[in-house]
Amino acid sequence: MIITREGFTRVVANAFAGLGFPAEAPTVYEFPTKMFIKGSDLTPIALNIGRIVYGLTGWQPETGTKGVVTPGMVAVQGRSYQDAVDQMNALFVRNMWGDGLPLSPPTEERIEWILRGTDLDADFVVGGVPPRGAIATVRALAVSLAMAGGRPEHLPVLIAAVEAITAPEWGLWAANATTDSVIPAIIVNGPIAAQIRLGSGYGLLGPDPQHPAGVAIGRALRLVQQNLGGAIPGIGTMALFGGMRATNAVFAEDEEGLPPAWQPLSQERGFSGGANIVTATPVNSMINIGAHLGTRDVNDATLTMVAKFMSIPSGITWSLSMTLDDWNSPDLARGVVLMPRGLAASLAADSGYSKLDVKTFLWRKARIPWSDLQDMDLAQSFILRATRLGISKGMDLPLAPRPEQITIVVAGGAQSGHCYWMPVGLSNRHMVSKEIRLPARATWAELLEQAERDLYSKVSCADPASCSIG
C-alpha cells in the first residue's frame, strides 16, 4: 500500500521495494501537492478515506514468495565491436542501467581484472544500498567500476567509500531519495592517494588526465547509487538539481601541503598517520570564494568572507530538525572548507594559527543573526525547537555547537587565490570514515606497475600511423 504526495509515487515505490515488499504494491492515493501548502483544502482526504482504509486493511499482495535474484550476463551483438558497444550503451540507457554517458562493456574478463584490486571474495557483502535496498557485493562494485572505465587499483577506494555511505548514520536512505541535491564527498588520506594518482591539487574535482582516479571512482559510486539504490531522477531520487552527480566528489587531501602541526583529516578523526582512509560526508553544492593572503589582517578578511558563505541559511537552519545527540556528535556533518596549501601556510606562518584556531575563527563568524531568522519567518519555529539544542531566544544560530565540528581540508592548487565551500546536505547526517583494504603486497605492486605502463609511460607519435609506448 502506498499513500504519498503527488509526484512521489515512484520514489515511494522504490523505497517500498527496498523494504522487501512486493513491487506491484498499488498506489492507494496521491495527495495533491497543493494540500501541503499552509491553509490548503483538505477535503481530498475525506473524499478518498474509503480507498485509504481499504489499503490499510483489505489489500493483499499478489506475490507470496521472496528471495534474492542475481541477474545473468547480457549478450549484445553488433556488426563490429564498435557497433556492439553502441548497441550495449543504447540497451543500458533504455533499461536505465547507465547514466547517459558512454559506458565501457562490463565483460566477464574485465570484471575479473577489476577484482584483482581486492582479496575480498567476490560475493562479500559490502552493504545494502537504500532506498531500493539492493545488495552491494564486491562483484557488483567491480561491475560498476568496469562500466565507469575504472581500474583494479581503484577498487579498494570504491569498496571503502560504499562501506562509508551505507553506514546507517551516513543517511544514504535520505540522501538518495531527497529533493536536496546531496552527493557524497569522499576525501582520501594516506599513501594510496598518490599511488593511484588521485587528485589533490590543480583542477580538483574536475577532469584531469594526470589524475583520472577521482572521476572514475566517483562515477562508479554514482552507478552504485543508481543501479543498486534506485536513485534515478523522478523515480528513486527527487533531487531538483543534479549538481555534480555524474561523478560525485572524490579527491585526496594535499598532505604534503599541510603546515607543520596541522593534522590531516584522517588523524583528526582518530586514525594513525600513514593509514589509508576514506571519509565520506554529504554535501549539496560547491561555492568558489576569492581568497587573499599575507598579513594577519588580510588573512582574517579572507576567513571572514569564507564564514559569510558558510552562514547561508540552508544548512544551518536545518539544524532545527536535529536531535540533541545529532547536534553534539563529533561526527556531525557541517560541510567542508577546502583551502589551497598557500593559504594554509600563510595562516600558520603569518597569522600563527593552528588548524583549531582557524576552525574557531570560522565558528565564531558562521552564524545566522536572530534578526535574519525573523526576516525569514523562521523565528517562531526556532523558538519552539531550538531549546533542545541549548539555544535560547535572541541568540545567533551557529553552524555547529563546537569549533571542532568544522571540517577543513587542505587541497587545490599551490596558488592561493581561491577557497571552496562545500555546504552540508541533509544537515543531521554524520561523517563516516573507513579504512581502505589493499590486496596482497605483491599484487598491489604489480597493479601499480601496470598502471604506470598503461597510463603514464612516454609515448612517441612521430609517425601518426604507429604510436609506440616507451
Own/partner contacts of 8-14, CB < 8 Å, gap of 24 or more, are: 8/238, 10/234, 10/235, 10/236, 11/131, 11/177, 11/234, 11/235, 11/236, 11/237, 11/238, 14/131, 14/132, 14/177, 14/230, 14/235, 14/236
The sign one gets for the Cα dihedral 63, 68, 73, 74 is: positive
Q: Is residue 145 part of a domain?
A: yes
Q: Are residues 294 and 244 in the same domain?
A: no
pTM of the model as a whole: 0.88
In terms of domains, do 186 and 114 share one?
A: yes
Same domain, residue pair 316 and 258: no
Q: How many structural domains compose the chain?
A: 3
- Residue 104 sits in the same domain as residue 249: yes
Per-residue pLDDT of the chain (470 residues; tens, 9 = 90+): 677 777 777 777 777 766 666 655 666 667 777 776 777 787 877 888 887 788 778 777 666 665 556 677 888 989 999 999 999 999 999 999 999 999 999 999 999 999 999 999 999 999 999 988 899 999 999 999 999 999 999 999 999 999 999 999 999 988 998 888 999 999 999 999 999 999 999 999 999 999 999 999 999 999 999 999 999 998 888 888 988 899 999 999 999 999 999 999 999 999 999 999 999 999 998 999 998 888 999 999 999 999 999 988 765 556 666 777 888 899 999 999 999 999 999 999 999 999 999 999 999 999 887 777 666 655 566 666 666 677 777 778 888 889 999 999 999 988 888 999 999 987 778 999 999 999 999 999 999 999 999 998 865 555 555 555 44
What tens digit of pLDDT does each residue of 11-56 get?
777 777 666 666 556 666 677 777 767 777 878 778 888 877 887 7
pLDDT computed for residue 469 by the predictor = 47
Pair (103, 236) in one structural domain: yes
Check whether residue 272 and residue 164 sit in a common domain.
yes
Same domain, 379 and 269: no
Point out which residues pair with 337 in neighbouring strands: 408, 421
Any domain includes 79: no
Residues 395 and 304 in one domain: yes
Peptide bond into 207 cis (omega under 30): no
pLDDT at 292: 87
295 and 280 in a common domain: no
* In a domain? residue 237: yes
Give the end of a domain, one of 11, 31, 57.
57
Residues 202-243 have pLDDT tens digits of: 999 999 999 999 999 999 999 999 999 999 998 888 888 988
How far from chain centre, in Å, is Cα 63?
Answer: 35
User: Which structural domain, as residue segments, surrounds residue 118?
Assistant: 91-284+431-470
Same domain, 415 and 396: yes
Three-class SS string for 401-468?
CCHHHCEEEECCCCCCCEEEEECECCCCCECEEEECCCCCHHHHHHHHHHHHHHHHCCEECCCCCCCE
Q: Do 298 and 252 reside in the same domain of the chain?
A: no
pLDDT at 470: 45
Clarify whether residues 99 and 232 are in a common domain.
Answer: yes
